[in-house]
């Protein structure tokens, strides 16, 4: 197949092209490795230096465009170049509601199928609050030949509320097993300057109130009163929440390069994955949980969305917003760790997920455009 990928350039606090990171880079790479011809157009919502077309290691041809001030619709010249080179059989569009709407309009003009990738609940994003966008996004999902959906909980929400007629498949987020695997704990602690002879809980990810991160800080303070060896280490983009906690055994590692995140996870005695029971938390894929499981580290995670499917043992889950319950579960994991081997074996890598995506795209080739 000739596959055209339309997506944002900046997402999850990373740059798709510069960092070569995440779902929107790894799945196209995997599709190319499976023998398909893949071209991608990455649109930036803030002015960035436009990069010349370049070919990735797996053979994906990437273009970039500044999509301001009118969103991805503004990138028409770069799009025309990508279409001319790719001659696409199918479009795979991801990132947000605007890209879904844009892709369906392009697919209708070219009379080729469009598959929309929902890596989050896009109606939770700020763009969906613009007049008419949420309605047009749902119409786009109904018109698409197919949907790849990041979580089972989001798939259930879409099936109940969107009336999508195309093929739907759950394609979660993958783990790069070359990076996320068990490593020597003390070596990881030395690499990050963490105390070797301490009990350390913590996390890497969004250190923000809307992800329920105060649960972790509050639970740490509860446990730290009785355990003088306990430390909390964290890293990631943050709001003002961490500044409210000034405990001397809280270690702020700032924003790590993503290649160092496996070091932090492997340095922990217990990894914590916080979230809220919100329109984001209920439908997102718990990637940090999957990465922690792949590293073989004991975990405690907020019991929301697909976490309940991944973690069958209740000692590994806590109710979001309940710091006392989190402290109790952490105490249990610190004293008698449960590794969650079955859940770790269920974690999938990007190559497998690229295969799932290709299978769904192939199913959509014969579906007439609405």
pLDDT at 368: 60
What size, in residues, is the chain? 370
Element holding 2 (H helix, E strand):
strand 2-8
Percent of the chain having pLDDT more than 90? 78
pLDDT at 68: 65
Span 210-227, average pLDDT? 97
Sign of the dihedral defined by the CA atoms of residues 336, 277, 26, 45, in that order: negative
Percent of the chain having pLDDT more than 70? 95
Strands 270-273 and 299-302: parallel
Question: Which alpha helices (H) appear in the chain, and where do they start and end?
Answer: 16-19, 23-33, 76-86, 97-110, 133-143, 152-161, 185-192, 214-224, 261-267, 287-294, 307-310, 323-335, 341-346, 350-364
Contact present, 131 and 42 (Cβ < 8 Å): no
pLDDT at 277: 94
Nearest to 305 by CA among 117, 155, 127, 148: 155
Of residues 216 and 344, which shows the higher confidence score? 216
pLDDT at 65: 86
Of residues 240 and 369, which shows the higher confidence score? 240
Span 32-44, average pLDDT? 95
Sequence-separated (6 or more) residues with CB below 8 Å from residue 118: 94, 141, 147, 148, 149, 150, 154, 158
Does 271 score more than 90 pLDDT? yes
Span 150-172, average pLDDT? 94
Of residues 23 and 21, which shows the higher confidence score? 23
Nearest to 328 by CA among 101, 336, 242: 336
Of residues 29 and 10, which shows the higher confidence score? 29
Does 81 score more than 80 pLDDT? yes
Confidence at 44, pLDDT banded by 50, 70, 90: confident
Structural domains in the chain, CATH included, are 2-174+349-364 (3.40.50.2000), 185-346 (3.40.50.2000)
Neighbours of 285 (CB within 10 A): 25
Q: Please, what is the average pLDDT of the chain? A: 92
Contact present, 73 and 104 (Cβ < 8 Å): no
pLDDT at 66: 81
pLDDT at 70: 55
């Amino acid at each position: 197949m000739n596959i055209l990928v339309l997506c944002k350039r900046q997402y999850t606090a990373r740059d798709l092209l510069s960092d070569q990171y995440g779902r929107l880079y790894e799945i196209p790479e995997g599709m190319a490795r499976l023998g398909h011809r893949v071209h991608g157009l990455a649109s930036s919502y803030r002015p960035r230096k436009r990069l010349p077309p370049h070919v990735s290691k797996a053979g994906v041809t990437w273009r970039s465009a500044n999509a301001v001030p009118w969103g991805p619709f503004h990138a028409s010249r770069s799009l025309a170049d990508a279409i001319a080179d790719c001659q696409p059989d199918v479009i795979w569009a991801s990132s947000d509601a605007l890209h879904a709407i844009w892709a369906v309009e392009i697919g209708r003009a070219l009379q080729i199928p469009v598959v929309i990738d929902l890596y989050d609940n896009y109606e939770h994003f700020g763009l969906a609050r613009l007049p008419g966008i949420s309605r047009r996004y749902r119409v786009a999902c109904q018109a698409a030949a197919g949907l790849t959906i990041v979580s089972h909980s989001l798939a259930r929400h879409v099936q109940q509320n969107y009336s999508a007629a195309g093929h739907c498949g759950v394609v979660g987020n993958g783990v790069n097993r070359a990076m996320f695997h068990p490593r020597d704990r003390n070596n990881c602690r030395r690499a990050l300057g963490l105390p070797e002879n301490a009990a350390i809980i913590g996390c890497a990810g969004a250190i923000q109130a809307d992800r329920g991160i105060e649960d972790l800080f509050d639970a740490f303070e509860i446990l730290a009163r009785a355990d003088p060896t306990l430390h909390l280490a964290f890293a990631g983009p943050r709001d003002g929440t961490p500044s409210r906690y000034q405990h001397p055994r809280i270690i702020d590692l700032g924003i790590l390069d993503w290649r160092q995140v496996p070091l932090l996870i492997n340095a922990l005695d217990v990894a914590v994955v916080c979230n809220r029971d919100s329109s984001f938390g209920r439908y997102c894929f718990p990637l940090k949980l999957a990465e922690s499981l792949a590293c073989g580290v004991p975990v405690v995670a907020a019991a929301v969305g697909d976490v309940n499917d991944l973690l069958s043992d209740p000692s590994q889950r806590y109710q979001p917003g309940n710091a006392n319950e989190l402290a109790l579960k952490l105490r249990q994991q610190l004293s008698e760790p449960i590794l969650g081997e079955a859940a770790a074996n269920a974690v999938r890598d990007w190559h497998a997920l690229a295969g799932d995506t290709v299978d769904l795209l192939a199913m959509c080739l014969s579906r007439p455009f609405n």
